[in-house]
Amino acid sequence: VTGGHPTLLAAAGVRIVRRRRLPAAGDVLVAVGERVAPDRIVARARPPGAMVPVNVAYELDIAPSEVPDAVVVPLGAEVARGAPLARTAGLWGLLRSYCYAPVTGVVRDVSASSGQVVIEATVPAVELTALIAGTVIGVEPGRGVDVCGRATLVQGVLGVGGEVSGRLVAAVARPEDLLSAELIGPELGGCVVLGGASITGAALHRAREIGVAAVITGGIDDTDLTDHLGRELNVAVTGQEDVRPAVVVTGGFGRVGQDPHAFDLLRRRAGELASVRAATRIRAGAERPEVIVSESDPTDGPADSALASGIDGDIRAGGDGGLSLGRRVRIVAAPFRGRIGQVVELSQRPHAFAEVGTLPAVVVALPGEQRAIVPRANVELLAGSSGGAGSADEADEADASGAQDVPPSARRPREEV
Amino acid sequence: VSGDERLYVVVDCGSTTTKALLIGRRGERFRALARSEAPTTVEAPQEDVTVGVRSALAELERRAGFPLVPWPDGVAPSEPAVAAGGRATLLATSSAAGGLQMTVVGLVRGLTLASGERAALGAGALVGELVAFNDPDSPLERIARLRRSQPDAVLLCGGTDGGKTPQVLALAELIAAADLRSRHATREPVPVIYAGNATLRDAVATVFSDREPPLFVANVRPELERENLAPTRDRIHEVFLHNVMTQAPGYAALQQRCAAPPLPTPAAFASALELLVGEEDAEVLAVDVGGATTDVYTAGPAGVHRSVSANLGLSFSVGNVCQAAGWERIARWLTVPIADEELRNAIRNKMIRPTTVPATASDLQIEQAVVREALRLALDHHVATRPDLRGLRPAEPATARLGRSAPAPRIDWRRIGLVVGSGGPLAHAPQPVQAGLMLIDGLRPRGITSLAMDEQFLFPHLGVLATVDREAARQVLFADSLVPLGVVAAPLTDRGGRDGTELFSYVLRPRDRDGGVRRGEVRRGELVALPLATGERAQLELRPSGPRDLGAGTGVEVQALVLGGPVGVLLDGRDPDLGWPRPRLSWREDLKRWQAAVGVEREVDA
């Protein structure tokens, strides 16, 4: 989070705005004021394909100047992947060599100076869903829409697998429970599964087998995630992984209990359709994964203009005061890693931590009269409300429109064509 | 502030923090007078870098007690701040919005592409992708790589002047086909700098005829045996100022108020190193351990050479260091046993919450282990990017080395007199001696080498200040920026042998007081620490035992005047590679012994 203290949001009944944008120019299929469901296609694009040069002169071992005569597909015509693109004169087909098109596309250029043929690759259409139930409050012609609606929103710290949706099911009873393989039955296929403090490797394997859409877990062991992804996750930029279930981690690596508040919010919405954005960008323009359960029948009108223009609500920014007395926080580094408590003291003077030096500190009251003195950098604000009138100290509006939404189908293809 | 009224405010816009520094006279010398910080505001919701700059300036003015740089709302002054009536001259460096990200395209990896990469790195760019004509992947994959790299500018080089290299045109067509657009909201076409075969310029221009024309500059490698990097470097700076900085939100306004062109932070860092080297004959090796990358610089009379090990950083990319080094090598630096799974989880937690700081001895050990390995890997990378360090004679033609294996690259420690450490994990080490040990363990300096820290990360500020007031920058560099840690000495050559073999004998004679002379021998496997307080000077005499080289030749005694610091004088008899691989248990005992020798306290909580 640029500027403010790192904050995770968990709130019900919040008005949220989602900025939905195509990765390339296309058509917007809805109008301002229109009501949309989470799975409604709101925009569609057929992005221009990459220009793919084929070195025909080299492939056929001919001079560049001979290339125009060797090309068998007219300029502007389509050629299928693997079909002949050019051929040498040969001797009635004997000793004739061919150059085949590496991609399906349209021949855009034939160069007699470099001996290359350029094909504009054909790309499948990209479709963008509304992600949340609500009202279209803005349209950027050709690019996308802004959708506003009320929802339960829970943010995580790391997500892999991109966007997915499914029926929300709580597979464990308590936020500190372990999600084991026995708890994952075939009825969870296609569902968004709410877990507890960790998920076992076997449970993840089972979830994959039966086609679970997404798993929400407090913690996960690195070896299990590595196994799931088929590679080590070395840089915290995610969302492009081609894996199911998608995984949203709300606490961190290891065994970390879910925030009971967030856990309860989601559990209350069990049985409903949940949208999961399992994407993370920790560097500039921080983006955290999120679970959204839209309110099926929002009674409110469109959001006000401040929200629509993308100004952060208090909840997202962690309030103006950021880290302040009384705030709920999660400690995110040893020795109290994962513990949740309340800020009771913000010492003006840095605290001398044995072994690690003198650092600005915060005192956190933990359940059971325990108090922890930890570096300020090692706490994360937990912001949110439980919905309903006057139920929380923060405003009940949030806007996470800063993150540009990318639909699963718009994910950058492995080979960009 | 008296007499000389010169005042400078230098702001460094980092990716997360904007740091402002006030420089002016205190007595006879220029000193750092005040500092302030504010969050960088390039990203949403502010999306204007000047918001952060102005709040850092406001805080600086509050501390100084008088106005420094007037910045009336909504008025865009056409003159630099000084002329507008402010008291201080404003200067800036920036690595915010990702700094200057470049992709380099060339013919052959080892030749023109390497020259192009050196020019880009020297200009302070972050080189994201290298695309060579002779890469094994398909044009399709290469276009995908070009697009994925999302550069701010592309450098195309290849071919010697007058050479017959139509392949360069194929590369130009590749770049044109990729149709690269700015990663900022403007979506402007990405500028292409052409620094290849000059005779092909017209043909290259034709390739781009329906696009933004390329920027032409003198060939980076006009002849096979000769590099000419400076024109390309200058052109990249221009592109940074005119294309990149003007597109990042708020930069145009900042640029207008600066008295000199803002520099990319790494270029400013390099400028400070040039200042440090000054007229000295020795070279300086500097390392900057950052969140995303580790930069290594070697600076000497011949100029500054910079390498960037992308993804060898301590936060976002900490996992890469572990994978590149191997988890085993990270684990070997831990004096307490930590289960593999626990180590891996701790590293990943740092990755997803990069702003956390170690609060337990074991987390601190893990962080410092990663620093050691990042330094080791980054130095290897640096050596690999410096052609003159590859054991080649300057007279040897480049063609002579094609087709036979080059000697293993190594750094010539005889030329390096000083190692400077910079970056959070080194600067924030609870004990300075820990920073010294990380530098020594990671870089393994040989011969006699001084160690110092740029503790407050002032090098970028001073580097840009040097472009307008070299003497002021030099004075602040030595008074406020460079903190001496001590000295390390180790044999250049060690043919191996058993632990316990005598390597060399030493005499340390304090210069500023009588008595206190220390003598002894250093044996193989030992780390001997001789205290020498900060500010104290001493004469260090080393005599090799047997056919060893301590820097002056095999068997030749060496003498040096050394300056003390928290590390004191460390005599390092350990293996250059620290005996890797080695069984973990005996290693751990050695590790504890070495740390005890230098006084690192390692009481570990359970």
Cα B151 from Cα B251, distance rounded (Å): 18
Helices of type H across A162-221: 201-210
Residue B401: count other Cβ atoms within 10 Å of its Cβ: 16
CB-CB under 8 Å, A233 with B605: no
CB-CB under 8 Å, B39 with A236: no
Angstrom distances, CA of residue B63 to CA of A10, A298, B58, B335, B412: 39, 51, 9, 44, 46
Residue B18 has pLDDT above 80, yes or no: yes
Label residues B524-535 b or e (16+ Cβ within 10 Å = b). Answer: bbbbbbbebeee
Q: Does B326 touch chain A (CB under 8 A)?
A: no
Q: Does A94 touch chain B (CB under 8 A)?
A: no
Band (pLDDT 50/70/90 cuts) for residue B201 is very high
Q: Which is it for strands A340-345 and B8-13: parallel, antiparallel or unpaired?
A: unpaired
Q: What is the pLDDT of residues B324-336, one digit of tens each?
A: 999 989 998 998 8
Q: Is the ipTM of this complex over 0.90?
A: no
CB-CB under 8 Å, B347 with A222: yes
Q: What is the dihedral of CA A107, A109, A112, A116, to 10 degrees?
A: -70
Size of interface A-B (CB pairs under 8 A): 196
Instruction: Using CB atoms, pick whichever of A234, A334, A416 lies closest to residue B319.
Output: A234
Place of tokens 């450490």: B421
Instruction: Using CB atoms, pick whichever of A2, A50, A377 lies closest to residue B143.
Output: A50
Angstrom distances, CA of residue A109 to CA of A50, B34, B147: 13, 61, 21
Band (pLDDT 50/70/90 cuts) for residue B4 is low
In angstroms, the separation between the Cα of residue B531 and the nearest Cα of chain A is 21
Our separate counts of H helices and E strands in chain B read 18, 20
CB-CB under 8 Å, B428 with A402: no
Residue B410 has pLDDT above 90, yes or no: no
Cα A325 from Cα A363, distance rounded (Å): 9
CB A352 within 8 A of CB A399: no
Q: Tell me the average pLDDT across B224-236.
A: 85
In angstroms, the separation between the Cα of residue A82 and the nearest Cα of chain B is 14
B360 CB neighbours in chain A (<8 A) are: 333-335, 355-356
In angstroms, the separation between the Cα of residue A3 and the nearest Cα of chain B is 5
Residue B591 has pLDDT above 90, yes or no: no
Instruction: Using CB atoms, pick whichever of A6, A116, A402 lies closest to residue B45.
Output: A402
For residue B596, the SS3 value is: helix
CB B529 within 8 A of CB B508: no
B15 CB neighbours in chain A (<8 A) are: 283-284
CB B183 within 8 A of CB B147: no
CB B605 within 8 A of CB A335: yes
Cα A392 from Cα A385, distance rounded (Å): 5
CB-CB under 8 Å, B140 with A417: yes
In angstroms, the separation between the Cα of residue A47 and the nearest Cα of chain B is 13
Q: Does B293 touch chain A (CB under 8 A)?
A: no
Supply the pLDDT for residue B603.
Answer: 41
Closest chain B residue to A377 measured between Cα atoms? B356
Residue B310 has pLDDT above 90, yes or no: no
Q: Does B361 touch chain A (CB under 8 A)?
A: yes
Place of tokens 């309903």: A388
Question: Hey, what are B388's tokens?
Answer: 């003159």
Closest chain B residue to A251 measured between Cα atoms? B349
Helices of type H across B451-583: 459-466, 470-476
Band (pLDDT 50/70/90 cuts) for residue B390 is very low
**DSSP summary character for residue A187:** G
CB-CB under 8 Å, B179 with A335: no
Q: Does B535 touch chain A (CB under 8 A)?
A: no
Band (pLDDT 50/70/90 cuts) for residue B44 is low
> Can you say whether the dihedral through the CA atoms of B543, B546, B548, B549 is positive or negative?
positive
Angle between helix B432-443 and helix B361-385 axes, rounded to 10 deg: 40
For residue B485, the SS3 value is: strand
CB A218 within 8 A of CB A251: yes
3-state DSSP helix/strand/coil % of chain B, to nearest 5: 35, 25, 40
Instruction: Using CB atoms, pick whichever of A50, A54, A333 lies closest to residue B359.
Output: A333
Residue B555 has pLDDT above 80, yes or no: yes
Chain Cα centroid distance, residue B292 = 12
Instruction: Work out the burial of residue B270: count CB atoms within 10 Å of its CB; fewer than 13 is exposed, 13-18 middle, 19 or more buried.
Output: buried
3 state SS for B345-397: HHHHHHHHCCCCCCCCHHHHHHHHHHHHHHHHHHHHHHHHHCHHHCCCCCCCC
Whether the link from the prior residue into A407 is cis, omega within 30° of 0, is: no
The model's pTM: 0.80
Q: Which of residues 83-122 of B touch A (CB under 8 A)?
A: 96-98
State percent of chain B over pLDDT 70.
88
In angstroms, the separation between the Cα of residue A22 and the nearest Cα of chain B is 14
Q: Which of A153, A162, A156, A151 is nearest to A248 (CA)?
A: A156
| Phi/psi at B440 (5° precision) | -70, -45
Closest chain A residue to B146 measured between Cα atoms? A416
Q: What is the pLDDT of residues B449-485, one digit of tens each?
A: 999 999 888 999 999 999 999 999 999 999 999 999 9
Q: Which of A89, A108, A110 is nearest to A98 (CA)?
A: A89
For residue B173, the SS3 value is: helix
Q: Which is it for strands A340-345 and A328-331: parallel, antiparallel or unpaired?
A: antiparallel
CB-CB under 8 Å, B341 with A50: no
Q: Does A417 touch chain B (CB under 8 A)?
A: yes
Chain Cα centroid distance, residue B457 = 12
Q: Tell me the average pLDDT across B77-91.
A: 60
Angstrom distances, CA of residue A38 to CA of A25, A72, A130, A272, A320: 22, 47, 5, 12, 32
Residue B321 has pLDDT above 80, yes or no: yes
Q: Which of residues 436-495 of B touch A (CB under 8 A)?
A: none
How long is chain A?
Answer: 417
In angstroms, the separation between the Cα of residue B57 and the nearest Cα of chain A is 16
Cα B56 from Cα B269, distance rounded (Å): 21
Q: Does A359 touch chain B (CB under 8 A)?
A: yes
For residue B280, the SS3 value is: coil
Residue B80 has pLDDT above 80, yes or no: no
Supply the pLDDT for residue B100.
Answer: 77
Cα B480 from Cα B470, distance rounded (Å): 15
Q: What is the pLDDT of residues B511-539, one digit of tens each?
A: 988 888 999 999 998 999 999 999 999 99
Say how many Å lie between the first and final Cα of chain B, rounded: 53
Rg (CA), chain B: 25
B176 CB neighbours in chain A (<8 A) are: 51
- Please tell me which of A400-409, B53-62, B390-399 the model is most confident about, judged by mean pLDDT: B53-62
CB-CB under 8 Å, B148 with A416: yes
CB B331 within 8 A of CB B588: no
CB-CB under 8 Å, A51 with B177: yes
Instruction: Using CB atoms, pick whichever of B138, B311, B351 lies closest to residue A102.
Output: B138
Cα B27 from Cα A94, distance rounded (Å): 91
Q: Which of residues 175-234 of A touch B (CB under 8 A)?
A: 221-223, 225, 232-234
Residue A33: count other Cβ atoms within 10 Å of its Cβ: 11
Q: What is the dihedral of CA B179, B183, B184, B190, to 10 degrees?
A: -40
Cα B31 from Cα B22, distance rounded (Å): 9
Residue type, B432: P
Q: Taking chain A (417 residues) in consecutive chunks of 10 residues, what is each chunk's mean pLDDT?
A: 68 89 84 92 81 87 91 92 87 76 90 87 83 92 91 94 94 96 96 97 96 97 96 83 94 95 96 93 74 72 38 36 85 93 87 83 92 92 62 36 38 30
Q: What is the pLDDT of residues A234-293, one digit of tens each?
A: 877 788 888 999 999 999 999 999 999 999 999 999 999 999 999 988 765 568 899 999
Q: Tell me the average pLDDT across B184-206.
A: 88
Please work out, in degrees rounded to the nearest 5, the angle formed at the alpha carbon of residue A333 by the alpha carbons of A328 and A337.
65
CB-CB under 8 Å, B170 with A116: yes
A227 CB neighbours in chain B (<8 A) are: none
